[in-house]
Structure 1
Amino acid sequence: MNMSNTERLILSNQYDILAKLNPEQAAVYQRASAIIERGYCLQILELEKSFGHLDLTTCQEVIATLELHHALAISWGNLDLVTQQEINASRLTFNGYSRSQESELADYVCFLLEVDKRFPELKCPCDELSSDIAMRDKYQRMLMVWRQCPRQYKLSIQEIRNILAA
């Protein structure tokens, strides 16, 4: 992070203000203030990590994954009851991303659901949306199969099976 002395002073002052406003986190903010003020490059890189960054393509992929799960739910709901019995409804549930391995993706999902209020049909609090294993590769395979379907929101039982098996 390249900052001018003025920018460093402003950011350091903001950390000092945060320390006063949040006494329980004061030590963390005071440390950050000292790092910025004194220009410790190694620790500044550590602070940068907390900002996170998802590029446009990754954001679009996460949104597409949520749309995919929305399409699965709609398509399954449009099937007759006998056909619905062929697939357990719980298999259509969006499990989220692994908090330990895909935290930026999990955080973005929470932003989309809680801040942007998108995908209200995913009636699951963010703290429950965490997979025990990394899911990105699985979701990418599912997206590839879904994108090949001619009617993405009117999937047949076989198309649903193929997506889930990807």
Structure 2
Amino acid sequence: MNMNHAQRLILSNQYEILIRLNPERADYYRRCQTIIARGYCLQMLELEKEFGHLDEATCREVISTLEMYHALKVSYENLSPDETVDVSANRLEFIGYSRGHEKELADYVCFLLDEEGRFPELGKSCAMLNSELAMRDKYQRMLLAWQDCPRHYKLSIQEIRKVLNA
């Protein structure tokens, strides 16, 4: 994190305000304030990690993943019970990203669902999502399979299976 003296002074003052406003986290804010005020570059990198960064392409990928899950549910609900007998509806539930391996992606999903109020049709909130395993690779394979389908919101059971098994 490269900051000039004025920026460091402003951030240091912000931490001073946080110390006073949030006494239960005062020790943490005091440590951050010391790091910034004294310019400890190694520890400043540690603080920088708290500021996530997702590029536009990654954000679009996450949104596409949520749209795909919506399309899977819509398509499944439009099929007859005879067609869906061998595919459990539970497989169509979005389970989220791993907090341990994909924190920034999980945080973005939480922002979209809880802060922006997007994708209410998924019936999920941030508190309901946390995969034990890293899911991004799986979701990327599923997206490729879904994008190959000619009608994204009118999938056949074979196309749903293909997406789920990608």
TM-score by length of 1: 0.98
| Amino acid in the other structure paired with 1:55 | D
Q: Does 1:99 align with 2:99?
A: yes
Once the two structures are superposed, what CA deviation does each residue of 1:116-163 show, in whole Å capped at 9, x if it has no partner?
Answer: 111001212212200010100000000000000000000000000000
- Mapping for residues 61-72 of structure 1, pairs under 5 Å: 61-72=61-72
TM-score by length of 2: 0.98
Contact 2:113 2:120 in 1 (8 A): yes
Counterpart of 1:48?
48
Once the two structures are superposed, what CA deviation does each residue of 1:43-69 show, in whole Å capped at 9, x if it has no partner?
Answer: 000000000101111101000000000
| Amino acid in the other structure paired with 2:133 | I
Q: Distance in 2 between matches of 1:151 and 1:124?
A: 25
Q: Distance in 2 between matches of 1:62 and 1:137?
A: 12
Q: Distance in 2 between matches of 1:158 and 1:122?
A: 22
SS at match of 1:98: coil
Q: Does 1:138 align with 2:138?
A: yes
Q: Distance in 2 between matches of 1:124 and 1:68?
A: 15
Q: Distance in 2 between matches of 1:127 and 1:105?
A: 14
Runs of 4+ with deviation above 6 angstroms: none
| Amino acid in the other structure paired with 1:133 | L
| Amino acid in the other structure paired with 1:43 | Q
Q: Distance in 2 between matches of 1:44 and 1:108?
A: 23
Q: Does 1:13 align with 2:13?
A: yes
| Amino acid in the other structure paired with 1:112 | L
Counterpart of 1:125?
125
| Amino acid in the other structure paired with 1:12 | S
How far the C-alpha of 1:83 sits from its partner, in A, is 1.3
Which runs of no fewer than 5 residues in structure 1 stay unpaired?
none
Q: Distance in 1 between matches of 2:100 and 2:15?
A: 27
SS at match of 1:83: coil
Contact 2:113 2:124 in 1 (8 A): no
Q: Distance in 2 between matches of 1:47 and 1:122?
A: 34
Q: Distance in 2 between matches of 1:114 and 1:20?
A: 28
Which runs of no fewer than 5 residues in structure 2 stay unpaired?
none
Percent identity over the alignment?
Answer: 63
